């Protein structure tokens, strides 16, 4: 079994880390640089930084903050929010990001995935998929920070982004987000088992068993969470030891 990854996520709004439920009711969760430093020192395998209002506000990701975080930590660092061009990606990589995450811009212009993969290599292109189950339909892709439903069905879109050159998928269940009731295991499993690239599962983590479930039943390559780490409900060293003891391959 390949080593599984634990990834804290910093959702950034106006320079601060925030966390909500089902993508709304945001509350402050602390200073982004301080949290990043804490996670790097406590054994996180990677860090994801999402400027969650950049697309909606029609602006670029906060480069200065990205630079500060990158100079504070020594683990791989993925940045997303407001990215829509080669120039945007170049600026973020130069600021210290290791990977970039695109969502709304990829849905709007799928060719962008291919363009970025060819320019920078698939290994640093993550496509984020925010998905919600819509009544009478299957899981539907949403954009603009989860605000706007699209005509794209989640499972087929996941296959398309892989074919277009994405190196990784960040799959967030909006239905599970912030609920702490567990990851969307059935959807995660369907996508993971049919993908040739790593799948990061996001949305719903509430306890250590949820991570075990998403790695074993959901076949995810990485588990991402925010509030349970930000508010110190679960410690990353304790989580990794728990998973290792249950037979999950972890880097301690």
Model confidence over 20-68: pLDDT tens digits? 565 555 666 678 899 999 999 999 999 999 887 766 666 666 888 899 9
Residue pair 127/107 in contact (Cβ under 8 Å)? The answer is no
Give residue 56's pLDDT: 62
- Given pLDDT bands bounded at 50, 70 and 90, which one contains residue 136? confident
* DSSP letter string, 152-221: EEHHHHHHHHHHTT-SEEEEEETTTTTT-S---HHHHHHHHHT-SS-EEEES---SHHHHHHHHHTS--S
Say which residue the tokens 């020192």 belong to: 41
pLDDT higher at 138 or 154: 154
Tens of pLDDT, residues 163-213: 999 999 999 999 998 889 999 999 999 999 999 999 999 999 999 999 999
Return d(Cα 165, Cα 6) in angstroms, integer. 24
- Given pLDDT bands bounded at 50, 70 and 90, which one contains residue 111? very high
Residue 98 annotated as catalytic: no
C-alpha distances (whole Å) from 41 to each of 3, 35, 163 are 19, 10, 36
Residue 130 annotated as catalytic: yes
Residue 124 DSSP label:
G
Give residue 20's pLDDT: 59
pTM of the shown model: 0.92
Q: How does 111-130 read in b/e, with b if 16+ C-beta sit within 10 Å? A: ebbbbbbeebebebbbbbbb
146 three-state secondary structure = coil
The percent of residues in the chain predicted with pLDDT above 70, rounded, is 92
- Which residue in 68, 62, 152, 66 sits closest to 104, CA to CA? 152
Catalytic residue selected from 45, 88, 130, 177: 130
**Token couple for 221:** 């390559």
């Amino acid at each position: 079994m390949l080593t599984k990854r634990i990834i804290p996520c910093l959702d950034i709004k106006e320079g601060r880390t925030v966390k909500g439920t089902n993508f709304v009711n945001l509350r402050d969760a602390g200073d982004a640089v301080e949290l990043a430093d804490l996670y790097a020192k406590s054994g996180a395998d990677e860090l994801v930084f999402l400027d969650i209002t950049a697309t909606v506000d029609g602006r670029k990701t906060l480069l200065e903050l990205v630079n500060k975080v990158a100079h504070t930590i020594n683990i791989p660092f993925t940045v997303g929010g407001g990215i829509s061009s080669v120039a945007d990606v170049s600026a973020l990589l130069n600021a210290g990001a290791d990977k970039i995450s695109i969502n709304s811009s990829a849905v709007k212009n799928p060719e962008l995935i291919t363009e970025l993969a060819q320019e920078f290599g698939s290994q640093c292109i993550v496509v984020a998929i925010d998905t919600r189950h819509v009544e009478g339909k299957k899981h539907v892709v949403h954009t603009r920070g989860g605000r706007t439903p699209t005509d794209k069905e989640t499972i087929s879109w996941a296959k398309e982004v892989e074919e277009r050159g994405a190196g990784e998928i960040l799959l967030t269940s909006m239905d599970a987000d912030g609920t702490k009731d567990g990851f969307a295991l059935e959807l995660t499993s369907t996508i993971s088992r049919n993908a040739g690239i790593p799948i990061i599962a996001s949305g719903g983590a509430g306890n250590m068993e949820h991570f075990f479930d998403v790695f074993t039943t959901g076949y995810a390559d990485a588990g991402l969470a925010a509030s349970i780490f930000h508010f110190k409900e679960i410690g990353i060293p304790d989580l990794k030891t728990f998973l290792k003891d249950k037979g999950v391959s972890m880097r301690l």
